[in-house]
Amino acid sequence: MTKSMTDVICPFCGTLCDDLEISLSDDGKKILDVYNACAIGAEKFLHSQAKDRITRPRLQQADGTWKEISYDEAAEYAAQMLSKAKKPIMYGWSSTNCEAQSVGHEIAEMVGACVDNTAAVCHGTTLIAVQDIGLPSCTLGEIKNRADRVIFWGCNPAHAHPRHMSRYSWVPRGFFTGKGHKSRKLVVVDPRVTDTAKLADIHLQIEQGRDYELLNALRVALNEEWLPDTVAGIPKEKIREVAEVLKSGRFGIIFFGMGVTQTLSKNHNIDEAIALTKHLNEFTKYSIMPMRGHYNVTGSGEVLAWQFGFPYSVDLTRGFARYNPGDTSTIDLLSRGEADAVFVIASDPGAHFPISCVRQISKLPSVCIDPHMTPTAGVCKLHVPVAFVGVETGGNAYRMDNVPIDMRKVVDAPEGMLTDEEFLTKIRDRVKKLKGAA
Amino acid sequence: MGKITLNLISGRSIQQGVAMEGGKEKPLYTKACGIIEMDSSDLKKLGIWKNSNVRVTSSYGNVVVKAIETTQGPHPGVGFIPMGPWANSVVNPNTYSTGMPTFKGTPVEVEPAMNEPIFDSVELVQKKCRGEI
C-alpha cells in the first residue's frame, strides 16, 4: 500500500493552499500522485521527480556547453563574483523560504548589493501605493466567512490562482456566507472576457489601460455626482448600477492584479483603488488585497522590510539601506547599465524581464540558482540547481494576506543536492572570509 | 494579407503555469506561450487562418509566434501573449520611475510570417542576447 501525506502546503502561488494530499511510494522516496492541488501545483510536485533533472552546478562554456562542478566550487565562484563587484544585483527570492532570504540578505549587506524581489515586475507599484496611502486589508479567512461583495480587478484567478475562488473568495460557505457563491455578488473588471469574468454577476469589459478613470468614476457614482456618458468604455448607467451593488453589501473585498499594476498609470491606479476602498467604508465595510503571484513574494517583502525597512528594491551599496524605485530597482539598474554582476535566485528574469534587460544580464558575470533549466540559466555563466522548497525542504512562507505558513518537506532531494539555504550559507561563509569579516 | 495594429497585453494563463512548472525548455512551454491570442475579427482582418505563424513588432523588438483564436474573448483590437520571453521580446521596458516595466498596453503590428520558425524559450533568449535575431 502506498503512503499518503496530508496537509501539504503548495509552493506555487500566493494562495499557498494548505490542504494537499500526496501519495508516496512505500519507501517514501517518490511522489506518485498529488490530490487537491490545481493543475499548476500538481505539476510542480510531479516535475520534481523528472528523470532528466539537473542535479549538479554547471558552468557555461564559451561554446554554450556546460561543465559540471561541485557545490563548493560553485559557492567559491559566486562569492568571488559578488565580492569583486561594485554594484551587484541580487534578484529573485520569491520562490524560496524566508530562512534562505535571510541568509541571502546577510551576503547582500557584506558585499553591498542591490536586493530586489519579483515584486519588481509584479506588485512593486502596489507597494509604492501602499506607502502613499496605506492598505485597509484583512485575511482570506475573513473573506471566506464574511465577504458578500467580491471584486476582481485586473486579475484572473481562474488561471493565475486556480483555487483562490474555491477556497476563499467565491465558492466556500463561511460563517456569514452560508449559501456559498449564491450569497456573494461577483464583479470582474477586465478588458478580456476571462474565465473569471465568465463566472461574474457583472463583468465590466473596460477599455485597456483606463482603470484609473473607471475607479474614479465609481467614486463619483458613490457621491451621486455628474458622470460623462461613458467612462473607459462603460456606460454611466452601468457604473451607477455597480456602485449601488458595491454599496449594498455588508462586507466587500477588492482583489487586484497585474491589470492595474502593469498598465501605464501603475501606482496611481492602485492609489485610486485604495481610495475607492476607503470611500466604500463610508457606506459599509470594505477591504482590498493584492493577488500576490509567487508563493513567497510576500515573505520576501516582509523579511526585507523587517531587516532593512523597505519591501523591495533595496540598495545596500553605500553600507546603509536606500530605497527609491526607478533608481534602485533592478529593471532600471539593468536598463541604465549600472550593475556589474547579477545573482539570481528562485526566479526567472530571463523569461519575465523585457528582453533589453535580459541582454544586459547576459553581458555580465552572473549566477542563477534555480532547480529548473530556465532562460535565465541559459544566459548565466553559472547555473546552480537546488532542492525544491516546499517539496524537498520545508521553511516559512507568507500567504498573500501576510499570514505566515510553515511548509512541509515531502521527499528527499536527489542525493548530494543542497537547499537554497545551505548553498547560500556556503557563499556567506566564503564571502565573510574574502571580506575579512571572520 | 497585410498588417494590423493591436494593443498587446500579457499575463498568466493556466497552460503557461503548468508548462512553466513542467520545464521551460520543453515544447509544451513554447506551445503555451509562443502564441498570440487574437479576436476572430482581427484574424479575419489580417487575412490568415488561425494557427499560422505571425510576426509581432513593436518599437522595442519583434518576435514570431503562432496566432490562435482567443480563448477568453471577444476582445477586438486587443492581442494577448502569455507572460514569457515571447511577450517580453516586444513589451515596453520603460518603468517611468516606478521600477515596473509597462507590460500591458504595448501597440504592436502583426503580420503573417508563415514560413518563419518559432524558437523555444531558451533558444529565443540566447539568440536575442547574442543579437542573432
Q: How far apart are CA A381 and CA A365, in angstroms?
A: 7
Closest CA to A9 of A400, A418, A394: A394
CA distance A100 to chain B (A): 21
CA A149 to chain centre: 25
Contact B9/A44, CB-based, under 8 Å?
Answer: no
Grid coordinates in use for A293?
503571484
Chain A hits for B9, CB-CB cut-off 8 Å, are 191-192, 208
Cβ-in-10-Å burial (0-12, 13-18, 19+) of A139 comes to: middle
pLDDT exceeding 90 applies to what percent of chain A? 97
- Report residue B87's pLDDT band, with 50, 70 and 90 as the boundaries: very high
Residue A438 pLDDT more than 60? no
Q: What is the pLDDT of residue A188?
A: 98
- Report residue A61's pLDDT band, with 50, 70 and 90 as the boundaries: very high
Q: What is the mean pLDDT of residues A224-229?
A: 97
Q: What is the mean pLDDT of residues A228-257?
A: 97
Partner-chain residue, chosen from A47, A159, A208, that has the shortest CB–CB distance to B104:
A208
The pLDDT tens digits of the residues spanning A330-371 come to: 999 999 999 999 999 999 999 999 999 999 999 999 999 999
Residue A206 pLDDT more than 60? yes
Beta bridge pairs of residue A115: A90, A314
CATH of A124-290, one of 3.50.50.60, 3.40.228.10, 3.40.50.720, 3.30.43.10: 3.40.228.10
Q: Which residues contact B126 (CB under 8 A, 6 or more apart)?
A: A64, A362, A375, A378, A379
Grid coordinates in use for A181?
457563491
CATH of A58-120+295-434, one of 3.30.365.10, 3.40.50.1370, 3.40.50.10210, 3.40.50.740: 3.40.50.740
* Mean pLDDT (chain B, rounded): 95
Identify the three-state secondary structure at position B14.
helix
Under 8 Å CB pairs connecting chains A and B tally to 194
Q: What ipTM, to 2 d.p.? A: 0.96
Partner-chain residue, chosen from B88, B99, B129, that has the shortest CB–CB distance to A326:
B99
Grid coordinates in use for B21?
512548472
Domain boundaries, chain B: 4-130
Residue A421 pLDDT more than 90? yes
Q: How far apart are CA A146 and CA A98, in angstroms?
A: 30
Q: What is the mean pLDDT of residues A306-329?
A: 96
End-to-end CA distance of chain A: 52
Q: What is the pLDDT of residue A343?
A: 98
Contact B105/A353, CB-based, under 8 Å?
Answer: no
Helix axes A71-84, A98-111, angle to 10 degrees: 40
A358 in contact with B at a CB cutoff of 8 Å? Answer: yes
Residue A300 pLDDT more than 90? yes
CATH 2.40.40.20, domain B4-130, yes or no:
yes
pLDDT exceeding 70 applies to what percent of chain A? 99
Contact A208/B17, CB-based, under 8 Å?
Answer: no
Q: What is the pLDDT of residue B2?
A: 86
**Secondary structure in 3-state letters for chain A:** CCEEEEEECCCCECCCCCCEEEEECCCCCCEEEEECCCHHHHHHHHHCCCCCCCCCCEEECCCCCEEECCHHHHHHHHHHHHHHCCCEEEEECCCCCHHHHHHHHHHHHHHCCEEEEHHHHCCHHHHHHHHHHCCCCCCHHHHHHHCCEEEEECCCHHHHCCCHHHHHHCCCCCCCCCCHHHHCEEEEECCCCCCCHHHCCEEECCCCCCHHHHHHHHHHHHCCCCCCCEECCEEHHHHHHHHHHHHCCCEEEEEECHHHHCCCCCHHHHHHHHHHHHHHCCCCEEEEEECCCECCHHHHHHHHHHHHCCCCCEECCCCCCEECCCCCCHHHHHHCCCCCEEEEECCCHHHHCCHHHHHHHHHCCEEEECCCCCHHHHHCCEEECCCCECCCECEEEECCCCCEEEECCCCCCCCCCCCHHHHHHHHHHHHHHHCCCC
Contact A329/B95, CB-based, under 8 Å?
Answer: yes
Q: What is the pLDDT of residue B69?
A: 97
The pLDDT tens digits of the residues spanning A367-388 come to: 999 999 999 999 999 999 999 9
The pLDDT tens digits of the residues spanning B5-34 come to: 999 999 999 999 999 999 999 999 999 999
Q: How far apart are CA B106 and CA B95, in angstroms?
A: 13
- Report residue A2's pLDDT band, with 50, 70 and 90 as the boundaries: confident
Peptide linkage before B74 cis (omega within 30 of 0): yes
Q: What is the DSSP letter of B43?
A: H
Instruction: Find which of A207, A355, A376, A379 to mutate to test the B interface (most B CBs within 10 Å of its CB).
Output: A355
Q: What is the pLDDT of residue A1?
A: 63
- Report residue A436's pLDDT band, with 50, 70 and 90 as the boundaries: confident
Partner-chain residue, chosen from B23, B96, B124, that has the shortest CB–CB distance to A372:
B23
Q: Which residues contact A183 (CB under 8 A, 6 or more apart)?
A: A148, A177
CA distance A334 to chain B (A): 11
The pLDDT tens digits of the residues spanning B27-62 come to: 999 999 999 999 999 999 999 999 999 999 999 999
Instruction: Name the CA dihedral angle for A62, A66, A71, A74, rounded to a multiple of 10 degrees.
Output: 10
pTM of the model: 0.96
